[in-house]
Amino acid sequence: MAVGKPAKHAVEELTEGQQNRRRMLAWLSSVGLFGSAIISAISNLVFIKPRATYGAPNRFGIGKPDDFPSGTRIALGEHRVCIVREGDKLCAISTTCTHLGCIIAPSETGFACPCHGSRFDQDGNVTGGPAPKPLPWYALSLAPNGELEVDKGTEVGAGTYLKV
Partner 1 sequence: MRLALAIAAFVILIIHGLVFYDQFFHKWESYQTAYFDQARALAKTDTERAAVSGRKPRIEQTIVTTFGENRVDRCLTCHIGSDDPRFKEHAQPLRSHPFSEALGDRLLNGKWERRHKFSDFGCTVCHDGQGRGLETFYAHGEDHYWNDPLLGYVTQHDWRAEFKDKLKSTEFMQANCAQCHTEENFKSTPLVAQGRQLFFRKNCYGCHRIEGLSSGTLGPDLSEVGKKFKLDYLWESIVDPRANSKTSVMPQFKLSEAEIRALVTFLKSRRGINYSETSLDRYRATLAGKSTVGKVAQPGQPGAAATSVATASSVVATVPTAALGEKLINDKSCLACHKLGNQDGGVAPDLSFAGLVRDEQWFMEHFRDPRARVADSIMPSFGFPETDFLSITAYLKSLTTPPPFTSPAEFFKGTCARCHGEKGDGKGAIAVYLEPYPRDLTKAGFMNSKSDERLITSIKEGVAGTSMAPWGHVLNDEQVRSLLAYIRQTYVKDKQRPLKERDVPNTNPIAMSAESVTRGDQIFQQRCTGCHGKKADGKGPNSLDILPRPRNLHNADFLNATTDRRLFESILYGVQGTAMPPWVDYGLTKNDVGNLVNYLRSLNQNAQTTKTGNKH
Query: Which residue's CB is nearer to ligand FES, number 136 or number 148?
Result: 136
Type of residue found at 86: E
CB of 72 to partner 1, least distance (A): 19
Q: Which is nearer to ligand FES, 83 or 113 (CB)?
A: 113
Q: CA nearest 137: which of 121, 154, 120, 122? A: 154
> Considering CB distances under 5 to 8 angstroms, the limit depending on partner class, which of ligand FES, partner 1, none binds residue 44?
none
Query: Positive or negative CA dihedral for 80, 110, 140, 74?
Result: positive
CB of residue 60 vs partner 1: minimum separation in angstroms? 6
Residues 22-61 that bind partner 1 (CB under 8 A): 22, 25-26, 28-33, 35-36, 39-40, 42-43, 46-47, 51-52, 54, 56-57, 59-61
Q: How far apart are CB 161 and ligand FES at their closest, in Å?
A: 26
Q: How far apart are CA 148 and CA 68, in angstroms?
A: 10
Q: How far is CA 5 from CA 2, 14, 55, in A?
A: 10, 20, 72
